[in-house]
Amino acid sequence: MALKKAGVLGATGSVGQRFILLLAEHPEFEIHALGASSRSAGKAYKDAVTWKQTSLLPEYAKNIVVEECKPEGNFADCDVVFSGLDADVAGDIEAAFVKAGKAVISNAKNYRRAPDVPLIVPIVNPEHLSVVEKKVADAKAAGKPAPGFVVCISNCSTAGLVAPLKPLVDAFGPIDALTATTLQAISGAGFSPGVSGIDVLDNIVPYISGEEDKMEWETRKILGGTNAEGTEFVPLPYDEMKVSAQCNRVAVSDGHTECISFRFAKQPAPSLEQVKDAMRNYQCTASKLGCPSAPKQTIHVLEESDRPQPRLDRDRDAGYGVSVGRVREDPVLDFKMVVLSHNTIIGAAGAGILIAEILKAKNVI
């Protein structure tokens, strides 16, 4: 079967490099266009990039000539475009690609709060893709060309937070109070310069700009629904789901650890064993659809007293699985537990790949 053509915007950056790694030998997509700033355009990718991954730069990508981030040239033929652009340029560039009819899957924050843009954690709320499915289906039905659209990848720390909550909400109803204290890895901040070494050596920075607000807001959109027409998203109201986040940067390369506690709206709350079982038995839609990157086990519920740990557990299911441990009753809310997710896989580029796989499985791209 012919591979779908994929483009990558911001290809020389940290997120772009991850997209390129994840698309190497992908069974459904192949890189067709790489976009970066005008400084890099015209160069072979290997000469434009400062490659900083633990895997070598894939052979296939070395000599692709980098283009500017415009919906023309090789990008004109792309079936899907992954965006690893920085927020300061992502808004305009992604809008141009959408206008040109492209399916854009973006790691940037710019459109996450747009009412008609799905904000997706692919192992959590792929059903939110229905809003773009409908757009595409309506256009087809009207004999028009498929419209462009953006799907946003959630913030990395939001992804880890909502993953284990989804099966709980499905099984036991809404959560009305949620607290999360994060211990976040430095890889998400990129590397030019990213987090300064002196800030994380024998140290913690108890602040990440904008992060707490993102977690508190995005969680309510991802766990929320749509309007009656299915055209816009309606986040859960603040007073139905109170979310409080405290974010810290720590000396970990990959893998966000989050200490969370939560209370169910419906009381009495389920038992500890019911909570664990719901997470353990959860199979995400991507897995049911047979998407190649879908985790075999979506949520790993660990019973060892001192797990999950980032160095030991972040690579479960190639970073698409989420690990949960120390699930126990909480004296203040109902339950507390530790969640670990791979911030650059399920929390960033990897999520983009899995979203594309779902869209393909649903014939949207």
Q: What are the two backbone dihedrals, phi and then psi, of residue 8, each rounded to the nearest 5 degrees?
A: -130, 120
Among 28, 79, 94, 216, binds its own copies (CB under 8 A): 216
Among 25, 59, 202, 229, binds its own copies (CB under 8 A): 202
Helix, coil or strand: residue 349: helix
Among 33-41, 87-95, 144-152, 189-197, which window interacts with its own copies (CB under 8 A)?
A: 189-197
CB of residue 161 vs its own copies: minimum separation in angstroms?
14
127: which 2 tokens?
């059903």
Among 27, 42, 115, 197, binds its own copies (CB under 8 A): 197
Helix, coil or strand: residue 8: strand
Which residue out of 156, 247, 284, 291 is catalytically annotated? 156
DSSP state of 58: P
Helix, coil or strand: residue 67: strand
116, 154, 316, 364 from 104: Cα distances, Å: 14, 14, 27, 12
Which residue out of 32, 128, 256, 300 is catalytically annotated? 256
CB of residue 303 vs its own copies: minimum separation in angstroms?
12
Q: Which residues pair with 259 in a beta bridge?
A: 181, 338
293: which 2 tokens?
């990157």
**Catalytic residue status for 256:** yes
Nearer to its own copies, 38 or 63 (CB): 63
d(CA 35, CA 7): 8
Q: In the range 120-159, which residues lie near its own copies by CB under 8 A?
A: none
Residue type at 49 in one-letter notation: V
Nearer to its own copies, 132 or 175 (CB): 175
356: which 2 tokens?
């594309």
Among 207, 227, 271, 288, binds its own copies (CB under 8 A): 207
d(CA 324, CA 214): 22
Nearer to its own copies, 158 or 285 (CB): 158
Among 223, 333, 351, 354, binds its own copies (CB under 8 A): 333
Among 143, 145, 237, 331, binds its own copies (CB under 8 A): 331
Q: Are 120 and 128 in contact (CB under 8 A)?
A: yes
Helix, coil or strand: residue 234: strand
> How far does the chain reach from its first CA to its final CA, in angstroms?
14
Nearer to its own copies, 148 or 310 (CB): 310
> Which residues have a Cβ under 8 Å from the Cβ of 13 and sit 6 or more positions away?
36, 84, 85, 86, 190
Among 251, 265, 289, 318, binds its own copies (CB under 8 A): 251
CB of residue 24 vs its own copies: minimum separation in angstroms?
16
Tell me if 201 contacts its own copies by CB under 8 A: yes
Tell me if 200 contacts its own copies by CB under 8 A: yes
Tell me if 93 contacts its own copies by CB under 8 A: no
**Per-position x/- string for 310-329, each x denoting binding to its own copies as judged by CB under 8 A, each - no binding:** xxx--xx--------xx---
**Catalytic residue status for 291:** no
Give the pairing type, strands 29-36 and 67-68: parallel
Give, to the nearest 10 degrees, the angle between helix 349-361 and helix 14-23: 50
Count of residues of this chain found to bind its own copies when the rule CB under 8 A is applied: 62
Q: In the range 258-287, which residues lie near its own copies by CB under 8 A?
A: 259, 261
Nearest to 332 by CA among 273, 259, 237: 259
Active site residue ranges: 156, 256
Applying CB under 8 A, which residues contact its own copies?
Answer: 52-56, 177-179, 181, 183, 186-187, 191-207, 209, 216, 238, 242-244, 246, 248, 250-253, 257, 259, 261, 305-312, 315-316, 325-326, 330-333, 336, 338
